[in-house]
């Protein structure tokens, strides 16, 4: 229901295509993840690829570390719903085999594949087939010479590794490239990408490598990726989590939606943090609503608010919401009360209205509002105002009353 907007001006880059997915050059930021299955297990890998695509992945990477994996790719690619990138580690033969299998992209780590003639052979073959290559620099596997020259895995060392790889590619006139300069240290990763964005005009693939399990891994990945995206840096992203890769794809998609860089595809549930004015257990209701709505993949923002006094107003930008008061739930669309339901039916009513809202649209659902809803809601708000005060900002009035009462009591 909501539309994406520009967080900031995007850094201009060249554009490449990974299959039918445009990367860089003004294209929307794409989400990537990587399978954890054995690539030789065709059915298992395809099942995971489909799950990743359903969770928001635009591109999926599969390892190609042996002949059986390359053969698996040949069988996977024709049936995949998204473009497939082959991850190449130490053997250039695997890159050539992956190209033969029909992959739409390659990822080469300059720290692992080091022989110039092999690198150029792969680039020449990729050029002939129109397949882009990601230069995947990693602070944990940097070439030893660069470690020595720069005194460690510094931003300058990571960017120099990418520059050296580009020089090999230039010898065979290949420039269908995107670049990553990943590190497990968030500050190092941010600084490396900032330098890369100043040095190259190729699209950048963002990620904090080896971020670990959630929630810490999600926090590290978000800290690095979101910081750069907010600066206009980055054209495609991947969370690297020690978890089901579906979590990576989902997190990537949700981050881009939260930043306004992708149109909302799934549910965005917001809720107040609860306070003494809450008429319900906000945490429990929000959790129940999340569980009931999430699997329906409704592209709307839903609010769960604990108090009818300020709730509909505070969440007026939400597509749909519900606020509690006087044992009842006030259902609202874009801040307008459309229905009042019993408290024990709040989640059920919210789900039903969400489905109708997506199917019929905002105007139709506002037109179908209960004529008595606003009056009933106003009465509930008035009762609560009498009982609890109209606004937390009236605290100074309360302080004066407390002082007067204590003075009168001689305290």
Quick one: pLDDT at residue 344? 85
Mean pLDDT over each residue of the chain, to the nearest integer: 88
Instruction: Answer whether residue 366 shows pLDDT above 60.
Output: yes
279 and 233 in a common domain: no
307 and 241 in a common domain: no
Specify the pTM.
Answer: 0.80
Choice between 315 and 27, residue whose per-residue pLDDT is larger: 27
Burial class of residue 234, CB neighbours in 10 A (0-12, 13-18, 19+): buried
Query: Is residue 23 assigned to a domain?
Result: yes
Quick one: pLDDT at residue 5? 43
Instruction: Answer whether residue 227 shows pLDDT above 90.
Output: yes
Pairing of β 59-63 and β 30-34: parallel
195 and 227 in a common domain: yes
Domain that holds residue 78: 16-258
252 and 178 in a common domain: yes
Instruction: Answer whether residue 387 shows pLDDT above 60.
Output: no
Task: Give the helix, strand, coil percentages of the chain, each rounded to 5.
Answer: 50, 20, 35
- The Cα-based distances of 213 to 63, 216, 220, 244, 250 in angstroms read 21, 6, 10, 10, 15
Choice between 239 and 55, residue whose per-residue pLDDT is larger: 239
198 and 324 in a common domain: no
376 and 230 in a common domain: no
How many domains is the chain built from?
Answer: 2
pLDDT digits (tens, 9 = 90+) for 1-38: 444 444 658 899 999 999 999 999 999 999 999 999 99
pLDDT digits (tens, 9 = 90+) for 143-189: 899 999 999 999 999 999 999 999 999 999 999 999 999 999 999 99
Quick one: pLDDT at residue 1? 42
Query: Is residue 242 assigned to a domain?
Result: yes
H/E segment holding residue 17: strand 16-18
Query: Is residue 316 assigned to a domain?
Result: yes
53/82 Cα distance (integer angstroms): 7
pLDDT digits (tens, 9 = 90+) for 79-119: 999 999 999 988 999 999 999 999 999 999 998 888 999 99
Query: Is residue 369 assigned to a domain?
Result: yes
Is residue 336 a contact partner of residue 369, using CB atoms and an 8 Å limit? yes
Query: Is residue 114 assigned to a domain?
Result: yes
Instruction: Answer whether residue 320 shows pLDDT above 80.
Output: yes
- The Cα-based distances of 98 to 47, 68, 105, 336 in angstroms read 20, 11, 9, 56
């Amino acid at each position: 229901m909501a539309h994406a907007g520009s967080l900031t001006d995007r850094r201009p880059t060249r554009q490449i295509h990974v299959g039918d997915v445009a990367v860089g050059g003004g294209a929307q930021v794409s989400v990537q993840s990587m399978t954890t299955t054995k690539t030789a297990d065709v059915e298992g890998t395809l099942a995971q690829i489909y799950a990743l695509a359903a969770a928001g992945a635009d591109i999926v990477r599969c390892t190609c570390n042996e002949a059986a994996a390359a053969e698996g790719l040949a069988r996977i690619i024709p049936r995949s719903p998204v473009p497939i990138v082959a991850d190449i580690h130490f053997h250039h033969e695997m890159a050539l085999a992956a190209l033969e299998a029909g992959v739409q992209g390659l990822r080469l780590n300059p720290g692992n594949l080091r022989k110039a003639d092999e690198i150029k052979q792969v680039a020449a073959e990729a050029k002939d087939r129109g397949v882009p290559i990601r230069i995947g620099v990693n602070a944990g596997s940097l070439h030893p010479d660069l470690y020595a020259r720069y005194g460690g895995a510094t931003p300058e060392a990571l960017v120099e590794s990418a520059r050296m790889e580009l020089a090999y590619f230039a010898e065979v006139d290949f420039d269908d490239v995107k670049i990553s300069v990943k590190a497990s240290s968030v500050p190092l990763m941010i600084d490396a990408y900032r330098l890369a964005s100043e040095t190259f005009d190729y699209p950048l693939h963002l990620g904090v490598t080896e971020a670990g399990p959630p929630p810490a891994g999600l926090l590290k990945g978000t800290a690095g990726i979101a910081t750069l995206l907010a600066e206009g840096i980055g054209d495609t992203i991947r969370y690297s989590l020690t978890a089901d890769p579906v979590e990576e794809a989902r997190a990537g998609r949700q981050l881009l939606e939260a930043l306004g860089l992708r149109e909302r595809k799934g549910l965005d549930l917001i809720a107040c943090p609860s306070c003494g004015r809450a008429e319900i257990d906000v945490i429990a209701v929000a959790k129940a609503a999340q569980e009931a709505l999430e699997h329906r993949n409704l592209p709307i923002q839903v609010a769960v608010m604990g108090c009818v006094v300020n709730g509909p107003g505070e969440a007026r930008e939400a597509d749909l919401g519900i606020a509690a008061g006087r044992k009842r739930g006030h259902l609202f669309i874009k801040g307008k009360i459309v229905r009042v339901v019993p408290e024990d039916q709040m989640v059920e009513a919210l789900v039903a209205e969400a489905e109708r809202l997506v199917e019929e649209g905002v105007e139709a659902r506002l037109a179908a509002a209960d004529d008595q809803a606003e009056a009933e809601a106003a009465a509930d708000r008035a009762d609560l105002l009498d009982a609890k005060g109209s606004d937390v900002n009236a605290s100074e009035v309360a302080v004066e009353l407390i002082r007067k009462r204590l003075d009168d009591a001689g305290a």
